[in-house]
Amino acid sequence: MVWSYAESANAHFNLNQNVRIHHVAHSEHGLDVYVRLPMPYLVAELVGPKGADGLPAPAPYTYNQIEDGALMHYVDQIALRSDPTGLARIAANSLLLSIDGQQQNADVVSIRLHLLGQEPGFATLDEARAALVSGDVFPKTDETFVGAVMVDVHLRFNTGQTGAYSLSYTSDPGLAGQEDTANLILDYNGQDVRTYRARGLMHTPVDVSGSATSAASTFFIEGIRHILEGPDHVLFVLCMIIGALNLHSLLARVTGFTLGHTVTLILGFFGFAPSGAWFIPTVELAIALSIIYAAMMAVRPPEKGHRDLKAFAITSGIGLLHGFGFSFMLHQILRVDAPNVWHSLLAFNIGVEAGQLMIVLVVWPLVLFLRKQPGRIWVGSRAAVAACASLIAMVWVVERAEVLL
């Protein structure tokens, strides 16, 4: 049994399984931090060495047993109810809050655990407070896997009134996909609410200054990373570039793709899309097919008349598909009613455009150079790129069709 949740086989939604949310409220006494995170982030690295029975020493608040030849990790509900503050202290020790480079001490206020899928809302400060002020520490249940539990913790830092600070983590739980952990920090200082975004384990501190620009920049960077680190997006943009006849043709394709994915990024994020379980894998399958289509279009002889308009229409339609991929990833880490959601959404979209432009700036000069060579060099190079893109996309088609079916 792995510590993290079962991972999806599709390309855009792996961040949804590893999310940590932080609400930070300022007061004249200091900072109140409300954190929600999966329980494996707190205890996975605390598993001890193997004992005489061949089992590793269980992490705090857990017990292990072998079932059908697999090591299973369960929540030790008796230990948890007898001393829940200990688990909260583990969270407090792994989260570092610093002011002017000085680490601040945290007091544990409260802790609550919830079964995955039954946790209360945590998108706003009011929801976070409500999730931590009432109810049992953990509702009595049957045996529960550690990976099926979310933990809410309220920590208080008595720093006095302060503005800027930084947040980071020291823990390294060794979870599959932990490098893609989605971290949100929502900072509430008076009437100002700023949302910051970071990926990974946050070993590098996130500086929270209260600046709208610095907050938006974290989503801008994430937009760049999302397209540059998404091989399907990169391959589609690459095929789009090699299929352009000139700069005017390239601009028509890029503009169409931008328009298409911007529309569905907004529509998908705000819920104007099917919600059935079939829809996400269908979009992923369609994105893979769009790469094959773009590769075919890149090597076909250009048609006379309105070819740029046709290219604009085609890339707009394909952009609609890719936009749903962007929006569903983002929707899992930002709620529609989250503070300043439009700022974050706009910054993310601009980041996606910047990532696309980076690919164009790298590839287009190379395309121009190859076109100046003897005809067979350019034709062969273009065909080789299109063929490689198609082969990779065909593998994705098979994998994603299996998920859909």
What pLDDT, in 10s, does the model give residues 90-116? 999 999 999 999 999 999 999 999 988
* DSSP single-letter state for residue 276: S
Which residue type does 357 have? L
What pLDDT, on a 0 to 100 scale, did the predictor assign at position 303?
64
pLDDT-derived band of residue 121, with 50, 70 and 90 as boundaries?
confident
Residue 327 pLDDT more than 80? Answer: no
pLDDT-derived band of residue 15, with 50, 70 and 90 as boundaries?
very low
User: Rounded to whole angstroms, how far apart are CA atoms 222 and 236?
Assistant: 19
Residue spans of the domains in the chain: they are 14-210, 228-404
Residue 336 pLDDT more than 70? Answer: no
Q: What percent of the chain has pLDDT over 70?
A: 90
Q: Reduce the DSSP state of residue 191 to 3 states and report it.
A: coil
- Using a 10 angstrom Cβ sphere, with 0-12 exposed, 13-18 middle and 19 or more buried, the burial of residue 98 is middle
Sheet with 165-169, strands from edge to edge, namely 102-103, 95-99, 165-169, 206-208
Q: Reduce the DSSP state of residue 373 to 3 states and report it.
A: coil
Residue 126 pLDDT more than 80? Answer: yes
What pLDDT, on a 0 to 100 scale, did the predictor assign at position 261?
84
Separation in Å, CA 129 to CA 24, 33, 116, 157: 11, 10, 19, 16
Residue 241 pLDDT more than 60? Answer: yes
Residue 304 pLDDT more than 90? Answer: no
pLDDT-derived band of residue 192, with 50, 70 and 90 as boundaries?
confident
pLDDT digits (tens, 9 = 90+) for 51-83: 777 788 899 999 988 877 778 888 999 999 899
What pLDDT, on a 0 to 100 scale, did the predictor assign at position 12?
30
Separation in Å, CA 150 to CA 35, 168, 388, 402: 10, 20, 42, 30
Residue 227 pLDDT more than 50? Answer: yes
List the end-to-end C-alpha distance of the chain, in Å, as a whole number: 25
User: Rounded to whole angstroms, how far apart are CA atoms 15 and 327?
Assistant: 12
Residue 2 pLDDT more than 50? Answer: no
Q: What integer is the mean pLDDT of 371-382?
A: 89
Helix ranges (H only) for 158-246 are 212-228, 231-242
Average pLDDT of the chain to the nearest whole number: 85
CB 50 within 8 A of CB 37: no
Residues 6+ apart with CB under 8 A from 296: 386, 390
Separation in Å, CA 224 to CA 135, 229, 341, 345, 356: 41, 8, 18, 13, 8
pLDDT-derived band of residue 326, with 50, 70 and 90 as boundaries?
low
User: Rounded to whole angstroms, how far apart are CA atoms 297 and 139?
Assistant: 57
Return the number of other C-beta atoms located less than 10 Å from residue 149's C-beta: 24
What pLDDT, on a 0 to 100 scale, did the predictor assign at position 305?
54
What pLDDT, on a 0 to 100 scale, did the predictor assign at position 203?
96
What pLDDT, on a 0 to 100 scale, did the predictor assign at position 210?
76
Apex 48 CA angle, 47 and 53, nearest 5: 115
pLDDT digits (tens, 9 = 90+) for 18-59: 889 999 999 999 999 999 999 999 998 998 888 777 788 899
Q: What integer is the mean pLDDT of 304-323?
A: 79
What pLDDT, on a 0 to 100 scale, did the predictor assign at position 329?
62
CA-atom Rg of the chain in angstroms = 24
Q: What is the residue-wise DSSP string for 286-346?
A: HHHHHHHHHHHHHHSPPPSSSHHHHHHHHHHHHHHHHHHHHHHHHHTTS-TTSTTHHHHHH
Q: Reduce the DSSP state of residue 56 to 3 states and report it.
A: strand
Query: Does residue 155 or residue 251 have the better pLDDT?
Result: 155
Element (H, E) at 182: strand 182-189
Long-range contacts of 58-66 (CB under 8 A, 24+ apart): 60/86, 60/87, 60/90, 61/86, 61/87, 62/146
* DSSP single-letter state for residue 54: S
CB 97 within 8 A of CB 103: yes
Return the number of other C-beta atoms located less than 10 Å from residue 370's C-beta: 16
User: Rounded to whole angstroms, how far apart are CA atoms 264 and 269?
Assistant: 8
Q: What integer is the mean pLDDT of 331-346?
A: 68
Q: What integer is the mean pLDDT of 142-162?
A: 91
Residue 8 pLDDT more than 70? Answer: no
Q: What integer is the mean pLDDT of 279-307?
A: 82
What pLDDT, on a 0 to 100 scale, did the predictor assign at position 4?
35
Q: What integer is the mean pLDDT of 240-255?
A: 89
In 287-326, which positions are buried (b, 16+ CB within 10 angstroms) versus exposed (e)?
bbbbbbbbbebbbeeeeeeeebeebbebbbebbbbbbbbb
pLDDT-derived band of residue 387, with 50, 70 and 90 as boundaries?
very high
- Using a 10 angstrom Cβ sphere, with 0-12 exposed, 13-18 middle and 19 or more buried, the burial of residue 45 is middle
pLDDT-derived band of residue 5, with 50, 70 and 90 as boundaries?
very low
